[in-house]
């Protein structure tokens, strides 16, 4: 292992509840009397491209308007939420993991499916943006997850072969992207993704604290 590349949403920041709030607020604004609870939201939305989410909403609730119009409306709601740092909750173990990688002189990157401006809003709000050598967002590449593009680009910008990088992901879609790019992948599911099939990951753990042990110099991932 010569580099670590992390997902953002649901892994480093507890942003899925904010995405959930954005979808529910969108439905409320559209006059739809329905609110997604955590389990259903996780199954229907997490790890799925936004455009597919919108097609699902249109089909299920009969939302009017072009898909991009609905996407823009939802994104505006979400961005208003993440623009308030008080709404941003860092996941347990993030700072210890980043400190451990710094102590081992292992470069760390971000590979997110979210648009770059959202990624930067979140990382700045958490005062983490300067901790990463590389940041690749969904709109920096032709295809987003589960395609391998974000991970291939991140490894390229780090100047390290994908096979020598370890990805840390919370969703099946993210693990698929990392594996397709040739990285080893550690899955750290959250409350929204714990139901997903993560068997294609090289390891599955319950927290980022456990990732630190897996990435220690004594770990087989270094060999």
- CA–CA gap between residue 155 and residue 149 (Å, rounded): 10
| 157 within 8 A of 150, measured Cβ to Cβ | no
3-state secondary structure of 187: strand
Query: Which of 9, 14, 140, 149 does the annotation list as catalytic?
Result: 9
- CA–CA gap between residue 47 and residue 43 (Å, rounded): 9
- CA–CA gap between residue 88 and residue 81 (Å, rounded): 9
Q: How many Å separate Cα 118 from the centre of its chain?
A: 12
Active site residue 99: no
Query: Which of 7, 140, 149, 170 does the annotation list as catalytic?
Result: 7
Per 3-state DSSP, the chain is made up of helix, strand and coil in percentages (nearest 5) of 50, 10, 40
- CA–CA gap between residue 136 and residue 116 (Å, rounded): 7
Which DSSP string corresponds to 93-133? THHHHHHHHHHTT--EEEE-SS-HHHHHHHHHHTT-GGG-S
* Residues classed as catalytic: 7, 9
């Amino acid at each position: 292992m010569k580099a670590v590349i992390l997902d953002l949403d649901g892994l480093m920041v507890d942003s899925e509840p904010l995405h959930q709030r954005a979808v529910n607020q969108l439905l409320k604004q559209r006059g739809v009397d329905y609110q997604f609870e955590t389990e259903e939201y996780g199954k229907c939305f997490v790890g799925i491209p936004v455009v597919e989410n919108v097609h699902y909403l249109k089909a299920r609730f009969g939302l009017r308007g072009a898909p991009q119009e609905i996407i823009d409306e939802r994104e505006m709601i979400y961005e208003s939420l993440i623009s308030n740092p008080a709404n941003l909750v860092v996941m347990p173990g993030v700072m210890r993991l980043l400190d451990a990688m710094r102590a081992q002189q292992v470069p760390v990157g971000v590979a997110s499916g979210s648009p770059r401006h959202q990624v930067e809003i979140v990382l700045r709000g958490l005062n983490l943006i300067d901790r990463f050598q590389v940041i690749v967002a969904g709109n920096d590449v032709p295809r987003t997850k589960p395609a391998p593009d974000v991970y291939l680009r991140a490894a390229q910008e780090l100047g390290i072969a994908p096979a020598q990088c370890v990805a840390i992901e919370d969703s099946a879609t993210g693990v698929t992207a990392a594996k397709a790019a040739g990285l080893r992948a550690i899955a750290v599911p959250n409350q929204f993704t714990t139901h997903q099939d993560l068997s294609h990951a090289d390891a599955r753990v319950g927290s980022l604290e456990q990732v630190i042990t897996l990435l220690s110099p004594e770990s087989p991932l270094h060999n």
